[in-house]
Amino acid sequence: MIKGWLYPADSSARSGAVLSTNGNQFIVTRENRATVTGSIQELVVSQRVGNIPRKITLPDKSLFETTDNDAVDALLAATGHNARRAGILHILESRWQWIALALLATLFTGFAALRWGMPWASNELAFAMPARATEIISAQTLEFLDKAILEESALPVEEQQRIRQHFETTLLPLQQENFTYRLHFRRMSDIPNAFALPAGDIVITDRLIELADSQEEIDSVLLHEIGHVVHRHGLQQVLHSSFLTIAIIMISGDVTATSNIAVALPVFLLESQYSREHETEADHYAFERMVEAGIDPLHFSTIMEKISSAPENEPEGNASNSDEQDDTDLLKYLSTHPSTPERVFQAEKYSRKFRQRLSE
């Protein structure tokens, strides 16, 4: 006998009732009189979840509810009811070993999604995104940066025209991808910087041009940024960060977090948060195009060293003891970017190939 409550069909009114069995028949008794009878196999029994009340739908659509889950399980097992198989869910959730295994599986699945799933999906979406979409993203991003961060270039118009003409006649013919490249000159305080927008717009700052002692050094930076465009690195990173934002929204329900997506690309570009793999890939793209154009890749290492040693890029103070040096080494290890010495080494490696090619 199982005690519970009976709800008539299409009604929230309840009254105390008892469910009992007689062979393969059930009887629900309310107020000492049989209310519903029928075959036990006609009962629709909800799955057991913890110790929440069990719901049993009767043939006449009325509902019997009880907290005596053990008695319901015993009834299902004794009568061979089909719902007895659902008990496996309760078994799994009531065994700490299975709970621990489920937790580990969840953690691994989450890690795999972040480590491999999202980057893969970001890459696929970046290459599948229509050109018109990238143009809209680039235009809006540049507009935002011009209003909030960047300033009009102070370079003489003649110098801008000379660099732009060289860019169009010497560097662009090396490209075989379907992008419309445009070179923009801007001032960003005294920061030497260059970045590329997804549609092919490349921004270079006055300070970087001032640091360069030759057109070849500027070319090496521009080819590096073209490499980011060709491999869709900017789109990949922003899509990846958007996936994380969407995941946070789904978990927390905080819809205001969607505003983070709108500013993701400008912030990402200004902070140069490309991954180590992306930076290395863009470096190699630049080196290969430099060799093809007859430009010594050593110019890239020269401008990189100038940028890294510029006053605005030097850390405040110097390491004066071993602990501080250890901290510096740790930060270098944790950096997502290839270190300047690594990039210089790769540039010198390509430079040797370049000189060997000239001597042949």
Q: What is the DSSP letter of 187?
A: E
Q: What is the DSSP letter of 43?
A: -
Tokens of 111: 């890690």
Instruction: Give the count of domains, the chain.
Output: 2
Are residue 346 and residue 199 in the same domain, yes or no?
A: yes
- 305 close to 344: Cβ distance less than 8 angstroms: yes
d(CA 308, CA 349): 20
How far apart, in Å, are the Cα atoms of 243 and each of 108, 117, 240, 278, 279? Answer: 18, 10, 5, 19, 21
256-275 residues labelled b (16+ CB within 10 A) or e (exposed): eeeeeeeebbbebbbeeebb
- 160 close to 153: Cβ distance less than 8 angstroms: yes
- Asked if residue 275 is part of any domain, the answer here is yes
d(CA 102, CA 107): 9
3-state helix, strand and coil shares in percent for the chain, rounded to the nearest 5 = 60, 15, 25
> What is the full per-residue pLDDT of the chain (360 aa) written as tens digits?
899 999 988 888 888 999 988 888 898 998 767 678 889 889 998 888 777 899 999 998 899 999 998 898 888 888 888 776 655 666 666 677 777 887 888 888 878 876 777 778 777 877 887 878 788 888 888 998 899 889 999 999 999 999 999 999 999 998 888 889 999 999 998 889 999 998 999 999 999 999 999 999 999 999 999 999 999 988 887 777 666 655 555 555 554 544 444 455 665 565 555 778 888 999 999 999 999 999 999 999 999 888 887 765 554 444 445 454 544 443 333 334 455 778 888 888 888 888 887 776
**Model confidence, pTM:** 0.62
* Length of the chain (residues): 360
- Asked if residue 140 is part of any domain, the answer here is yes
d(CA 178, CA 129): 13
d(CA 99, CA 177): 51
Are residue 308 and residue 198 in the same domain, yes or no?
A: yes
- 45 close to 69: Cβ distance less than 8 angstroms: no
Residue range(s) defining the domain that contains residue 33: 2-93
Are residue 140 and residue 192 in the same domain, yes or no?
A: yes
CATH of the domain at 29: 2.30.29.30
- Asked if residue 108 is part of any domain, the answer here is no
- 201 close to 142: Cβ distance less than 8 angstroms: yes
Are residue 27 and residue 157 in the same domain, yes or no?
A: no
Are residue 167 and residue 274 in the same domain, yes or no?
A: yes
Residues 6+ apart with CB under 8 A from 330: none
